[in-house]
Structure formats: C-alpha cells, structure tokens
Structure 1
Amino acid sequence: MTPLRRYIAVVDRINRAIGRVTMYGIFALMAVLLWSSISKTFFNPSLWTLEMAQFLMVGYYILGGPYSIQMGSNVRMDLLYGEWSTRRKAAVDIVTVCFLIFYLGVLLWGGIDSTEYAFKYGGERSPTAWRPYIWPIKVVMCIGIFLMLLQAISELFKDILRLRGEEVPVNVL
C-alpha cells in the first residue's frame, strides 16, 4: 500500500498548493468587475471586462475544484450518507468516484481535442468585439480537469484504504 500512500501524499500536496494560490484569484475577478463598473459609470465601457471576468471565473472554478474535492467541500446528498459507517461510506464512494473518474476522463479527452483545434487553426478567437484568443483558457481548463482527475484517483485510493480498515492520510491545512 506504500505506492497508494505516496500517490495520495504527492497529489494532495500539489492540489492543496494550487488551490491555496487559486483562492486569491477572487481578488483579480473583483478588480476586473470593479473596473467594469467604474468604466461603465464614468468613462466609455471597456470591451474586455465581461469576457475577462468569465475567463478568470473559469480558472478560479476549475483550478479550485481539486482542492474542493480534497477538502470534502463538494456538494453531497447527505440524507442517508451522514448516518452510515466509515466503511459503508467508503464502499459507496468507491462506486461514485469511479463514475467521476470516467466523466473527467471523457471531459479531458474532449478538452484536449478542443485545445488542439484552437492551436491548429491559427488561434481560435472569441466572436465578440474584443476577440481574445481562446487557447489560454482552454489550456487552463485542461490542466484543471487533469488535476481534478488526479484528485479523484487520490480519493479512490483513500476510500480503498478506508474499506481495508487502514489509516488514511489526513489533509493538513
């Protein structure tokens, strides 16, 4: 079980570090939205603010996702789950995380294909008046989905350890 524990430690450490840095992205998003409000009120409205806010939100959400999974902050239907034993929770989580891993694998495959398309045809651009390149946000999305996939596998390994009755590494904030 040493390789499982090593994988858990490495992936959790990477996603915790990225998640802790990504948290501060909310301030960049707030700055863009504040500038958008100021420019619409006092100056000519900026063309770039809405799309830049959307791009920042995508990065914030997708790069913070693995950290959220790691901390158990994801939404879970707790009607029955809260009353179950640790082993039963682990058994059910193994099944559900397998669906998540499949979903993330398909999502990553599509994301990589879409990113390749953006690079292949001279840089796909947004159809808006600002017309930014789309590839940077697609790359961020692929990285975030990949990190989420790694974290889902880490959670699967944690559930396997719990099902076997072994000690699971605790997340250190």
Structure 2
Amino acid sequence: MTGLLRLSGLIDAVNEGIGKLAYWLVLVAVVVSSVNAVIRYAFNISSNAWLELQWYLFAAVFLLCAGYTFLRNEHIRIDIVLGRFSRRVQAWVDIFGILVFMFPMSILILKLSLPMFWDSFHTNEMSSDAGGLIRWPAKLLIPVGFFLLTAQGVSELIKRIAFLTGHRDEPGEKMHSHS
C-alpha cells in the first residue's frame, strides 16, 4: 500500500502543479479578452485568431483543471445526502462513483478524443474562419485533460482504499502540503 500511496502522491503533485499553472492561463485569458475588446471597440479592428485564442484558453483551464478540481474535492458531489453517513460509507460511495461513473466516462472520452486529435495534427487542421488558428492544440487538450482526470481518479481510489484498510486516517487528507 505504501507504493500505491506514493503513486497517489505523485499524481496529486502533478495535478496540483498543473492546476496552479492554470491560474496563469486565467490571467492570460482575461488580458487577451480585454485587449481584444478594447482594440475592437476603439479601433474597429477584429481578428478571429484573438477570439479563438480566448476559447482555447478557456478550454485549457476547464480541461486541464478537471483533475485538480477532483484533487481539491471541489467537484460536484451529493454532500446533502452523504453528509448523513459515516466516513466509511462515504468512502465506499466515492469508490463506487469512481469505478462505475467517472472511470468509464473519462476513459471513453479519452479513447474517442485521441483519434480526433491525431487526425487534426496530421492534417494540420485549420479553423474554417478567416484568420483562425490551427485546431490540433485545442483538440490535444481533450485527451490530456481526461488523462489527468483519470489519473486523479486512480489517486482518489487509492486514498479511499487506504482509508478503508486503515493505512490512512481520512480519505480526503492530503499526503503532503503545498504552499
């Protein structure tokens, strides 16, 4: 179990780092959006590339932070119901949810998105809008984001099992602190 908990800690650290890097993507998205709006209204100049960059950045934040959100336990939950049960029952419900709902969905999307990205990359797919951007970087975000989410699911599963087997005090307890 010690090796699995180390793996869990590594996955947590990767998603924590990516989540903190994504904070900067939010800032970049705000700056791009603001500059684009000012230029469009002040100088009556517009570019599809800037508009597409805005949604690329939004997609990056959303997709790359799914695992980070799961790590932070800030995903959608049924706490109003689960709060009435013991921590052990909550851990079993989490395990069930990860195995029956999260893994099949995230693995399916990961599997289906890889050929879509690969085709876009090989054909150097471009936006159909005039002056638009290449599409494969945005399409790459889908499998990367769902890989990170799936990996975090593995980490959370390890932590719940460790809790149930007495190798960990709390299922949501952090293995190490980040500052």
TM-score by length of 2: 0.90
What pairs up with 1:126-141 in 2 under 5 angstroms? 126-141=127-142
What pairs up with 1:22-171 in 2 under 5 angstroms? 22-43=22-43, 44-98=45-99, 99-120=101-122, 122-167=123-168, 170=174
Question: How many angstroms apart in 2 are the aligned matches of 1:134 and 1:40?
Answer: 23
Contact 2:11/2:151, CA 8 A, preserved across alignment: yes
Query: In the alignment, residue 9 of structure 1 is paired with which amino acid?
Result: G
CA RMSD of aligned residues (A): 1.4
State the Cα deviation string for residues 30-59 of structure 1 (Å, max 9, x = none).
Answer: 011101210121111232222111000000
Contact 2:52/2:132, CA 8 A, preserved across alignment: no
Count of aligned pairs: 172
State the Cα deviation string for residues 78-113 of structure 1 (Å, max 9, x = none).
Answer: 221112111000101111011201111111111111
Query: In the alignment, residue 59 of structure 1 is paired with which amino acid?
Result: A
Contact 1:87/1:165, CA 8 A, preserved across alignment: no
Q: CA deviation at 1:117?
A: 1.1
Identity of aligned residues (%): 26
Q: CA deviation at 1:68?
A: 0.9
Query: In the alignment, residue 61 of structure 2 is paired with which amino acid?
Result: Y
The equivalent residue for 1:11 is 11
- Matched residue SS, 1:11: helix
Question: How many angstroms apart in 1 are the aligned matches of 2:127 and 2:111?
Answer: 22
Contact 2:95/2:157, CA 8 A, preserved across alignment: yes
Question: How many angstroms apart in 1 are the aligned matches of 2:48 and 2:14?
Answer: 36
TM-score by length of 1: 0.93
Question: How many angstroms apart in 1 are the aligned matches of 2:142 and 2:63?
Answer: 6
- Structure 2 unaligned spans of 5+: none
Contact 2:22/2:61, CA 8 A, preserved across alignment: yes
